[in-house]
Amino acid sequence: MSDQQETGPTMRRLSQLESVVLWNRARQIKRELKQGVKKPYREVIDISWGDPQGGGIKPLSFVRQVLAACHYPQLLNSDKLPEDVRQRAERLLKECAGRSTGSYTATQGIPYIVKGISEFITRRDGGVPSFPNNIYISSGSQWSLQNIFIILVNSMSAVKTGVLTPVPCYDKVNMSIRELGGVTIPYYLHEDQGWELQIEELNRALESAKGVCNPVALYVMNPGNPTGQVQTRKSIQEVIQFASEKKLFLLADEVYQECIYGEKSEFVSYKKVLAEMGPPISETVELASFHSASKGLIGECGLRGGYVELVNVDPAVMEYIYKLFSTDSCASVPGQIALNLMTHPPQPGDPSYSLYNEETQLIQTTLIHNVRRVFEVLNSVPGFSCQPVEGGGFAFPRLHLPLNAIHKAKEAGMQPDEFYCVRLLEESGLLVNPGWNFEQKEGTSHFRMNIMIKEETLEGVLRRLVSFHTKFMKEFS
């Protein structure tokens, strides 16, 4: 690995401290606005996180009605709730100890809900079987991923464990690996090709790890975060073949699988493609697939519900995984209920179907509108370029900053995109996530912005962003 990669962790820690300062400053500005301090704006708009409801997307009525009835069972006798809502709540409460959502559940999750997830996966994958014993519900997919990293990363080994991770990549993934004593092996997504994952780059990354660490796993995100690309079936086949040849455990983060916007884009799960490739690959490649109720059209981030499905994992390892998940007693019950409602929504003919369909279609229409507007607007402004967002919850535009701005950032002890984002917050009240946090390619600058927000909010964001950017570029040109 290069000297830059060797010194990278220290630089990244400094960058993360700068980012904490950025978010702390955003909170301080919010307090100042409440106190009547005059600013060029009336409110801070936080589009740094993938929080749909925080961005004004309304929760689905069916989800909230069932949750309300589960938490307050007296509503089961109320004719103010649709019949299918009351029936679902009654069924779920029967599966809770003491008919209460405040009770503990089994380690893997409520068996009825786990079985429902396996049925959902089987439907999604066109009949490829899924087994409840291979599924673990957790308080968010990130918690599941952390547990699998604990299994994979040997912190006691003389040679450090390596995990191939994409660049750019969701920052908590790399942090989790390093905190366990592992090494991240960066492979770069090809920005000019729509953030494409290329096998040649995986081979280069693996070669760079020789003498540095022992590579054991490959982590992929589909759709990507922060990059928004959606892999083709051919690309997934190539990645699985690569993992098979190199004997790597495959980690497929598929939490945005419902959020597909590209006209020619289609979500196909890694598990489905693996099964279609047939023996011996379909029976030997070890796979962990992650999904969550925080993302997609349900967007229930605060309920903390996710799951992992394990494929082809050795029975002895599965036993250890069970013990590991047992250390946290069980996942949040509201989060488990949210997973049931995500995997088994109302069907045509159900009393709640019409409203559910109307609400989900509105969300989908909003997101498709938003990705198109971001692409159109940012690519029309000098100093910006943005790849099409095919899926996921974010846009990741590239900043082409003047040299004077880059020099000014260095004088301030910041990365160029951090300097830009600090100025953007101070002068326009927009909070975005600097690209440096995602370990972007050396010499490039980006920021991540949430597109899962109301249309009118997005229009306000774009107006502020373009106005600031135009003045910024003029100042430093």
Residues 100 and 88: beta-carbon distance below 8 Å = no
Per-residue b/e over 283-297, b at no fewer than 16 CB within 10 Å?
Answer: eebbbbbbbbbbbbb
CA gyration radius, the chain: 23
- pLDDT value at 105 more than 70: yes
For the domain 3-57+357-476, what is the CATH code?
3.90.1150.10
- pLDDT at position 9, please? 47
For a pLDDT cut of 90, what percent of the chain falls above it?
A: 91
Q: Which residue has the higher pLDDT, 103 or 171?
A: 103
- pLDDT at position 10, please? 45
Mean predicted lDDT score pLDDT of the chain:
94
- pLDDT at position 101, please? 97
For 315-363, how does the pLDDT look when each residue is reduced to its tens digit (9 = 90+)? Answer: 999 999 999 988 877 999 999 999 999 999 999 999 999 999 999 999 9
Q: Is the dihedral of CA 264, 256, 457, 17 positive or negative?
A: negative
Record: fold of 104-343? Aspartate Aminotransferase; domain 2 (3.40.640)
Q: d(Cα 358, Cα 60) in Å, to the nearest integer?
A: 10
pLDDT (mean) for 152-165: 94
- Residues shown for the chain: 477
- pLDDT value at 472 more than 50: yes
pLDDT (mean) for 236-240: 98
DSSP E strand stretches across 239-396: 249-253, 287-292, 306-311, 384-385, 394-395
- pLDDT at position 20, please? 77
- pLDDT at position 373, please? 98
Give bridge partners of residue 164 from the DSSP assignment. Answer: 185, 218
Q: Kind and range of the H or E element at 446? A: strand 445-450
- pLDDT value at 12 more than 80: no
Q: pTM of this prediction?
A: 0.94
- pLDDT value at 213 more than 50: yes
pLDDT (mean) for 141-145: 93
- The mean-pLDDT minimum among 188-192, 326-330, 334-338, 369-373 falls in 326-330
> Which pair of structure tokens corresponds to residue 439?
């370990």
Residues 192 and 200: beta-carbon distance below 8 Å = no
DSSP E strand stretches across 361-418: 384-385, 394-395, 398-399
pLDDT (mean) for 296-302: 92
Identify the band that residue 409 occupies on the pLDDT scale cut at 50, 70 and 90.
very high
3-class secondary structure per residue, 140-194: CHHHHHHHHHHHHCCCCCCCCEEEEEEECCCHHHHHHHHHCCCEEEEEECEHHHC
Instruction: Give me the residue spans of the domains in the chain.
Output: 3-57+357-476, 104-343
Identify the band that residue 19 occupies on the pLDDT scale cut at 50, 70 and 90.
low
- pLDDT at position 21, please? 80
- pLDDT at position 327, please? 84
- pLDDT at position 290, please? 97
